[in-house]
Structure 1
Amino acid sequence: MISRKNASISKFIIHKVGNKFNDTKNAFSEKLVDFDEASYDLMLPFLLKPFGSLVQSHRFNHHANVALNEINSYAAQLFDADSDASFIEVSKHIVMHLYEQSSSAQIKTGDVLIVQFEGIEFRDMTTNAIGIFKIESKVNFFQTYLENNSYDVLVQKGINSKKVDKGCLILNQSDAEGNIIFTVDNNSYDAQYWINHFLNIKYADDANNHTQQYIELCKDFSTEILKTSYGAQEQNIFLAKTIDFFKENEIVNVARFKDELFEDEKHIREFENYKKEFEGEQNLVIRNQFDVAEAVVTKEKRKIKTDIKLDTNIQIKLDIDAPDASSEYLERGYDDEKKMHYYKVFFNAEA
């Protein structure tokens, strides 16, 4: 995660990108934006806020040599640009590269913002960064105006200041894998277009990614295998115990994880088989041991829903922080007389 409390914008330019497939042309600016105070105060948090909550970072990728990655090369040139003219020229190349990725009619045209930031804080370091943003969606708003001593109203289109459609932040800071990159895509109509085709980036090989991958594996396994074969209660018990295991251990050992979460050898085999399928589908290999990223666990815990929804308009909400409560105080059965399943809940008093 980055901090923007001391950040500032040093260079900012707007271009428009067309669509190669539809033969819609690009339009380029020749000057940097000179902000007034009100516009600047609104623009800075608008651009940087999406990255403040991101835990996972990316690195540049290329099938032959990462130095041949176009955005990697352009970002390096922008960091080294010694004049406004150089910055403007490189920013145009970025738009042209984005234009070349519009290989279908669904790729939207829009405004492209190329920005240089100063004072970005990341892991106790302060650095500068390059931001690339694409604004695809405009919203309608009312504008009042005075004409002939009377006020009237008209509808105009503008940028929604609440959310960036697509953006990336390339830090002028690297590790063994290269520059640290954060990206957002809130308008992901084409999963390949922004991340794979334009930026050509991959997740960093770190604890954040390893933790994320394993929790995603467990979530998918719980939905596709446990819930389908054994019911929502077993699914929710497994998810609660998974989160509890990650909270209680600084290092995840996969063999120990299986021993602690599964009592039945059949479930262990099902998990191992599903893990192989998951790795094949996602084109990845999950490590047998890795450090836990606490921030990822906290974020994923908030996403997990442990409700049991029944077709009789009744819902049972389980506490993910009490993984043993469901198995101890909730029983599932079948009533032969009513020909219906049931849950029996044990408790001492109503809260």
Structure 2
Amino acid sequence: MTGLDNVLLKEVVVHRIGNPTRGESLQLSPHALTLNDPIVKGLLIKYFLSPFNDQECYRFTHLSDVQLNEVYQYTGAIFKDPAALLSKSQLIAQFLYGKSTHVKVKEGELYVARFDHVPFEGTEVPAIGIFKSETKETFLKVFPHGKSWEVIHEEGIDIRKLDKGCLIFDTNPDEGYKVCLVDTGAKQDTQYWVRDFLQVQPYADSYHNTHQYLDLCKDFIKNEYPEKFEVAKSDQIDLMNRSMDYFKNKEQFTETEFVEEVLFHPEVRDSFMEYKKHYENARQYEFGDGFDIHGAAVQRQQKVFKSVLKLDKNFHVYIHGRRDLIEKGYDEMTGKKYYKLFYDEEA
């Protein structure tokens, strides 16, 4: 998130959240932080808000009624009465503590903060942030000792990396608010934050549809495609490139068109559509037959669509297109595999 110059950090409460299955405690603070130092305020604003992508929005949900979502209720009460931040933050901490039972959930500090003038969708709105810091870094501190110097080590928080975060904007309350997320942990280990604690689902907008469909393509090509079909790594990269090129060159996504233009073989198409069903069921997310393609989502996914063919530790071949100009073979004399590349000019 950028454009944070006008953001006001109104109040912050910090609690200590352990893992109850390891006998770690919940330590609730009776007071908000004292924030008299403007430099500390500025650092906290940057630490809390910079990691968020405000184009990727979620909303609070519940199996029966969003009104039964605990975090939705607590944050809604703070929006209505800012003086309730301390008491509601304690309830939020107690609720998270009860969800922190997975063996890989780490102990850490939970921050509940209230902001004003946060830039969002062309305006500035109030927001509530819920953040958790789990990773501690070791720092060296140099200090004078008589006429010389001494060095000690201290543990602290790296303000360049937020482990987990949730930013709730005071907009669309009837639909579960608009929410942005940060979660740097492994998906299989930290679902407690998104699924069990926050209970959020993505807004079915053009950004999420674009981002999720490219994520689906990437997962299929990396996992299902080589398992079901005998394909070389260069074939996987070629399909990655064709998928990305479709989204880069189109303004509107149509599934039938995508399948015909990108997935050439009927067997691959059938396998992809079956994989898509499992993907949607696992995430409780349906794409529909078409949607507008969001350029920012394409750019973000392009960073993780790898087009590098790594051959042992000697060569990295970047493949950007024309799979027909790459030939794979096996040399019996050396007992090694090889790739033959055809080109016109050498740069």
Same-fold call, TM > 0.5? yes
The CA distance in 1 between the partners of 2:13 and 2:98, in whole Å, is 20
Coordinate RMSD, CA, aligned: 2.5
**For the structure 1 residues 80 and 214, does the alpha-carbon distance in structure 2 shift closer, same or farther, using more than 3 Å as the test?**
same
Which residue does 1:270 correspond to in 2? 271
Pair 1:257 & 2:258 matched: yes
The CA distance in 2 between the partners of 1:348 and 1:259, in whole Å, is 30
Pair 1:117 & 2:115 matched: yes
**For the structure 1 residues 164 and 277, does the alpha-carbon distance in structure 2 shift closer, same or farther, using more than 3 Å as the test?**
closer
Which residue does 1:42 correspond to in 2? 43
Note if contact 2:17-2:27 (Cα within 8 Å) is conserved in structure 1: yes
Which residue does 1:326 correspond to in 2? 323
Which residue does 1:65 correspond to in 2? 65
Note if contact 2:207-2:293 (Cα within 8 Å) is conserved in structure 1: yes
Note if contact 1:226-1:234 (Cα within 8 Å) is conserved in structure 2: no
Q: Deviations over 1:255-310 (max 9, x none)?
A: 11111123333332332333334334444433221221111111111111111223
Note if contact 1:251-1:292 (Cα within 8 Å) is conserved in structure 2: yes
Pair 1:76 & 2:76 matched: yes
Equivalent of residue 346 in structure 1, options 336, 342, 345:
342
The CA distance in 2 between the partners of 1:2 and 1:146, in whole Å, is 38
**For the structure 1 residues 305 and 38, does the alpha-carbon distance in structure 2 shift closer, same or farther, using more than 3 Å as the test?**
same
The CA distance in 2 between the partners of 1:335 and 1:142, in whole Å, is 55
**Alignment gaps of 5+ in structure 1:** none
**For the structure 1 residues 204 and 163, does the alpha-carbon distance in structure 2 shift closer, same or farther, using more than 3 Å as the test?**
same
Shift, 1:139, TM fit:
2.2
Q: Deviations over 1:51-100 (max 9, x none)?
A: 1x4542211011111011111111111112253xx222222111111122
Percentage identity across paired residues of the two chains: 29
The CA distance in 1 between the partners of 2:48 and 2:119, in whole Å, is 15
Pair 1:159 & 2:160 matched: no
Which residue does 1:201 correspond to in 2? 200
Which residue does 2:105 correspond to in 1? 107
**Which residues in structure 2 correspond to 1:169-184 (within 5 Å)?**
169-174=167-172, 177-184=175-182
**For the structure 1 residues 318 and 105, does the alpha-carbon distance in structure 2 shift closer, same or farther, using more than 3 Å as the test?**
closer
The CA distance in 2 between the partners of 1:72 and 1:175, in whole Å, is 9
Note if contact 1:334-1:341 (Cα within 8 Å) is conserved in structure 2: yes
Which residue does 2:233 correspond to in 1? 232
Letter in 2 for 1:326: R
**For the structure 1 residues 89 and 266, does the alpha-carbon distance in structure 2 shift closer, same or farther, using more than 3 Å as the test?**
closer
Pair 1:191 & 2:187 matched: no
The CA distance in 1 between the partners of 2:278 and 2:268, in whole Å, is 15
**Alignment gaps of 5+ in structure 2:** none
Shift, 1:338, TM fit:
5.7
Number of residue pairs the alignment of both structures matches: 343
The CA distance in 2 between the partners of 1:158 and 1:335, in whole Å, is 55
**For the structure 1 residues 152 and 277, does the alpha-carbon distance in structure 2 shift closer, same or farther, using more than 3 Å as the test?**
closer
Q: Normalised by the size of structure 1, how large is the TM-score? A: 0.88
Shift, 1:175, TM fit:
7.4
Shift, 1:144, TM fit:
4.2
Note if contact 1:133-1:168 (Cα within 8 Å) is conserved in structure 2: yes
Shift, 1:8, TM fit:
1.7
The CA distance in 2 between the partners of 1:295 and 1:56, in whole Å, is 10
Note if contact 1:71-1:94 (Cα within 8 Å) is conserved in structure 2: yes
Note if contact 1:3-1:122 (Cα within 8 Å) is conserved in structure 2: no
Shift, 1:148, TM fit:
6.4
The CA distance in 1 between the partners of 2:333 and 2:107, in whole Å, is 62
Note if contact 1:211-1:296 (Cα within 8 Å) is conserved in structure 2: yes
Equivalent of residue 94 in structure 2, options 96, 106, 112:
96
Q: Normalised by the size of structure 2, how large is the TM-score? A: 0.89
Which residue does 2:211 correspond to in 1? 212
The DSSP-based 3-state class of the residue aligned with 2:51 is helix
The DSSP-based 3-state class of the residue aligned with 1:197 is helix
Shift, 1:101, TM fit:
1.4
